[in-house]
Amino acid sequence: MIISGYLDGYEPPFLRSPLIDGSAVMAHALFWPAFLHTVGGSSSAPNAFDADPADLSELIDIFLDSDSWPVFSLDLAGRSRLHVIMRNFPDDGGVDYVLDPGNDGDAIPLAAMEGHFRGPALAWPELVAATHQADQGNSWGGRLLLLLPSCADSDRPSTAIDMVTAALTSLGAGPDARQVGAELLDSRRYWTQSCQWATVDGALVCLGAPAYRSLGSELSPSDLRLVTEAFAALKPGRP
């Protein structure tokens, strides 16, 4: 699997791409408790899906394979695609959210979920808009939960917990779904400060956080607009 520009800069350079299509992994019955536990940081996820944490070890080993990095992908607006990459480079592991803009250009970094966190990737209205885009391969609940760990927004509505709980329930979570939703929404694994968003020159940008999507970052104004167009929700607001 190739994501243009993503592997550039590694030393020594890769002779073979470690990226693999993770769609078969996403189809596994235990994918969501494993993903929400490891990437989302929800300690309650295994129990909510009636899964013994020990039963998740096979999937977690796949998530963390240094030779084959699973990539979980979603179609977005236009020709763009969102990729969630389990970056298992030795001594530099993490989870990357990147955008393939669909215009033959290099992938645009959105968030790096690791000790030196960069993000968030998107605002709450963008999460809602992206969740409800047409997708033949993924349910609305699956789209929401794949994107949610990279979303932070100080202005998210009080009804956010209801939407996340409904997504979890739609994918098989039991009575503890609301607790999992609260853990996912209020995780402080990567950011400890408020994340506010504003529209500047046609692009939605993050204020006051170490985000790629911020003014003065390495992303160009045109890249910032491309990302905004891909998530199809220009102005922050309540869904």
pTM to 2 decimals? 0.94
Which residues have CB under 8 Å from 176's CB, separation 6+? 44, 47, 48
pLDDT at 150: 93
Q: Residue 191: left (phi > 0), alpha (psi -120 to 50), or beta?
A: beta
Query: Which residues in the chain land under pLDDT 50?
Result: 234-239
Which residues have CB under 8 Å from 233's CB, separation 6+? 123, 125, 126, 128, 129, 130, 204
Which amino acid does the sequence have at 198?
A
Which residues have CB under 8 Å from 40's CB, separation 6+? 145, 148, 149, 183, 184, 187
Residue where the block lists tokens 């990539």: 71
Contact call for residues 209 and 92 (beta carbons, < 8 A): no
- Rounded to whole angstroms, how far apart are CA atoms 44 and 213? 31
- Rounded to whole angstroms, how far apart are CA atoms 146 and 136? 15
pLDDT at 145: 97
pLDDT at 238: 33
